[in-house]
């Protein structure tokens, strides 16, 4: 394994945080988790998205930059590598799905200034699940403010991720289709995903795997 910085991403409800935690525990890796629970705009956004979308996306942009800039520049000598359950580009994907065009254009200017200073991962893993499975997972974990998330919004985010992958060729992107797996309840499924991630050194660009 030749990774110093690994990103595990996915749409809302894909299980990225759960998977990243398990990898970090097994490999003694430094874990970076997105801090979203305390964001005061998140519940407001889900109830009134048009009113609070710009405030939400700007607050997330600031929080993600502060966290990643701090965590990725301070190496932990007692950890094997760093794993995060989000990548900074997530800010742009979500903003594109939620903001009006003029708001997004302003947001993009701010994002571009900041993005240059953020370290890039050695491997970006995207755990893909269809929208119907995402909705089941969202319902199962029971966060009140997420229950009103629409299929349309999840589809917009999914399309945003895939558009982003097509535009990037400077890091390896590994898209793993996990629709037929349950790595939370089934250890064998977890092992399958883990093997795909760590068994091969991936080239820059997009690689797709269906398990």
Q: Which of 2, 85, 159, 189 is catalytic?
A: 85
Contacts of 184-193 spanning 24+ positions with Cβ under 8 A: 184/15, 184/18, 190/19, 190/22, 193/19, 193/127
Token pair of 153 as six digits: 């919004």
Which segments of the chain are extended strands (E)?
5-10, 30-32, 82-84, 123-128, 172-177, 205-210
Indicate if 170 belongs to the active site.
no
Please give the backbone phi and psi of residue 11, each rounded to the nearest 5 degrees, phi first. -70, 175
Contacts of 143-152 spanning 24+ positions with Cβ under 8 A: 145/42, 145/43, 145/46, 145/47, 146/12, 146/13, 146/46, 148/46, 148/47, 149/12, 149/46
Bridge pairing between strands 172-177 and 30-32:
unpaired
- 3-state SS class at 210: strand
Catalytic residue positions? Answer: 85
């Amino acid at each position: 394994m030749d990774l110093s910085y690994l990103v595990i991403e996915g749409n809302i409800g894909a299980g990225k945080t759960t998977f990243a935690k398990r990898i970090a525990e097994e490999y003694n890796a430094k874990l970076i988790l997105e801090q979203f629970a305390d964001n005061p705009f998140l519940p407001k956004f889900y109830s009134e998205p048009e009113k609070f979308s710009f405030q939400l996306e700007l607050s997330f942009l600031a929080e993600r930059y502060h966290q990643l800039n701090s965590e990725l520049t301070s190496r932990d000598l007692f950890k094997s590598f760093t794993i995060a359950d989000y990548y900074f580009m997530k800010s742009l994907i979500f903003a594109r799905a939620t903001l009006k065009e003029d708001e997004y254009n302003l947001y993009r200017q701010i994002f571009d200034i900041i993005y240059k200073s953020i370290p890039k991962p050695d491997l970006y893993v995207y755990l893909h699940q269809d929208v119907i499975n995402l909705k089941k997972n969202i319902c199962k974990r029971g966060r009140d403010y997420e229950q009103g998330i629409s299929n349309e919004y999840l589809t917009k985010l999914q399309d945003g991720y895939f558009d982003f992958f097509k535009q990037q060729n400077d890091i390896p992107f590994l898209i793993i289709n996990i629709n037929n797996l349950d790595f939370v309840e089934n250890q064998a499924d977890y092992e399958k995903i883990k093997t795909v991630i760590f068994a091969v050194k991936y080239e820059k660009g997009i690689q797709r795997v269906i398990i």
